[in-house]
Amino acid sequence: MRTCTVHYLGSGPVARKVKDRAPGAAEPTRAARFPYAGGMGEESVKLPADLEGRYSFQKRLGAGGMGDVALCRDEQVGRDVALKVMRPEAAERPEERGRFLREARIQARLEHPALVPVYDMGEHEAEDDDGESARAWFTMRRVRGETLADIFERLASGDSTARYRRNKLLQIFVQICRALDYAHDRGVVHRDVTPANVMVGRFGEVYLLDWGIAKLTGDAVDGRPTSSDVPDDELEVTEAGSSLGTPGYMSPEQALGDTETGPTADVYSLGCILFELLTLERANPAQETRKRISKTIEGIDARPSVRFPDLDVPPELEELCVRATHVDPEQRLQSAGELANGIESFLEGDRDHELRRKLAREHVKRAVALVDEGDEKRPEATRELARALALDPQSRPATELLAQLLVDPPKQLPEGAKVALAEWLERARRRAAKVSAWRYGLWLAFLPVYLAMGVRIGWLFATCSTLLVGCFGLAILHARGSVRGAPATTAVYVLSTLSLLFFVPAFSPLLVVPSLMATNLMYFAAHVTPQERGIFVVLTALGTGAVFAGEALGLWPPTFVIDGEGIHIIPRLLELPPALTWGMLAAWAVLTASIPGIQAGRTRDNLVKTEHKLLRYVWQIQQLVPGELHAPPELDTDTGRR
């Protein structure tokens, strides 16, 4: 003989028993954490024989601590339901059976939109013909969606399909708070509020799940459930010293095994979820279960601004995190409704201006301390001031210090700026090479004139011409970026200087060559580093001096003679026909007199443009702080320093 008792209930949530794992135990699988999410497996679930006529098995959804969950078709009503049935081995233990029934009965009494409705429940009161032990079961709405834990994980991984902005998540969080506030008002404490136990449906519905270790408190008021509403043999007995909940989300009093936990235990869990919502990181950072419990008892730092200063977390929300996760239950927010009210006030645009001004002053103090430590701390100080102004845009100390930092440059070039300086210098080298290529092309244009004048020493003229052609080609490659850096610039300058030194025998070291070397040096000196400039000046001086020394020592025939009647040029490389020579020298005189002026003017124009740009920057910055506009320090055009 077989009998089955069926209880038709109103609506309410369904849950499973969740106990703390042993220290060091692995995280539970998704199927264990959330057994009725759908799509968890296709294995068969053996249903009690009495249900076979009414419920037809479709597929297995998952498994909980005491039972299996299957998707079934309610043939009588014509709808799909999730049916949870005790496992045979669990049904043999009376305490497990009582807990299972207690879970369903308590949840069925909580009628709220965020709680999964329980449709009916039943219990076998005798063994089946095949020896099957009596098993309890209940059915509930099948929930479709994803858990808040999955949403957090997708957002943290940068999943572009996770379209949940902060405000949307806060609205979901408010619904969780309201559901818990409702449960607390009816004497039920959840005790296992985690992101994995919150389901978000496709159409925005929110469900709070897993009421398996919920606790009944208080007295019945207006039909609200209390412990007296549940048979004595189904009451959960919690031994002192044991802890129930999920490490990392359970409250300190739960971690200590306090059996008198109240609504503030759930408030603590909500604070941990709020922190995770804002940062996508767990409020309790410990990795191992034992360490999580220890950290919970010790107290966590729930300030996103301290643990994740780069995140833009509003201070009002941070304050709620801190107050909700206080170690002392008496110092915590006293209700989930109070927490929900705080979130809703923020969403409606209410701001705690006094709190924001207080936090802004703290950021300014930290910025001042960082500035006093030296230039290497200026970036951190600037970020602190930016946070202060974000909190209090009218903070005069913050705006004054920020303007000071922006107007007064660091004494040393910061490391980050050195990269930009190197890129700028390379661009300057390429510009110098481009202009030099034009100049060397102009020099090459005079080669036919020299040939027309007549060449006396063919090998020397060929050497000079070859060096000049090589210099011209290398300058073009440098201007295009095919060769880069100081070695390329130095090579161009050395080749050009050598070509000029080999050209000295044409007009002596007194004519043409000195002006060309001066122009060449001036242009390169304006586009290289001070160290390179010094090297180029020394090379030019040594080369010029070597020419005079060689003639004085008789190493080669003299190219000029000084006597009482004047200075006489003795041509060695070229013939000097009077008319052609006169015209060529006149052309060189005009060019060498004009080009330095043009080059100096362009350099000065660039400096003035830079000065104007800097002045505009200073003017814009000083609009932050009313007062006299000060021009930037004058640039020393000789040293390049202010």
Positions annotated as catalytic residues are 192
End-to-end CA distance of the chain: 103
Whole-number Å distance between alpha carbons of 221 and 454: 122
Backbone angles phi, psi at 36, to 5 degrees: -125, 40
Angle at 574 between CA 571 and CA 577, to 5 degrees: 85
Quick one: angle between helices 458-480 and 485-502, nearest 10? Answer: 160
Backbone angles phi, psi at 350, to 5 degrees: -70, 135
- Please answer whether residues 119 and 139 qualify as being in contact, where contact means their C-beta atoms are separated by less than 8 angstroms: yes
DSSP state, residue 327: S
Beta strands 67-74 and 560-563: pairing type? unpaired
Using alpha carbons, select from 531, 522, 459 the residue that is nearest to residue 493.
522
Angle at 156 between CA 150 and CA 158, to 5 degrees: 105
Whole-number Å distance between alpha carbons of 277 and 328: 23
- Please answer whether residues 449 and 575 qualify as being in contact, where contact means their C-beta atoms are separated by less than 8 angstroms: no
CA-based R_g, the chain, Å: 43
Whole-number Å distance between alpha carbons of 193 and 159: 25
Cβ burial of 185 (10 Å; 0-12, 13-18, 19+) is: middle
Whole-number Å distance between alpha carbons of 196 and 27: 12
Biggest CA-to-CA distance, the chain = 147
Paired residues of 60 in beta bridges: 70
DSSP state, residue 455: B
Paired residues of 121 in beta bridges: 7, 138
DSSP state, residue 392: -
DSSP assignment of 167-197, as one string?
HHHHHHHHHHHHHHHHHHHTTEE-S---GGG
Which two tokens mark 548?
């005079």
Question: The sheet that has 79-86: what strands, in order across it?
Answer: 4-8, 118-124, 136-141, 79-86, 67-74, 55-63
Residue ranges of alpha helices (H) inside 392-453 are 396-407, 415-445, 447-453
- Please answer whether residues 245 and 193 qualify as being in contact, where contact means their C-beta atoms are separated by less than 8 angstroms: no
Angle at 615 between CA 611 and CA 616, to 5 degrees: 120
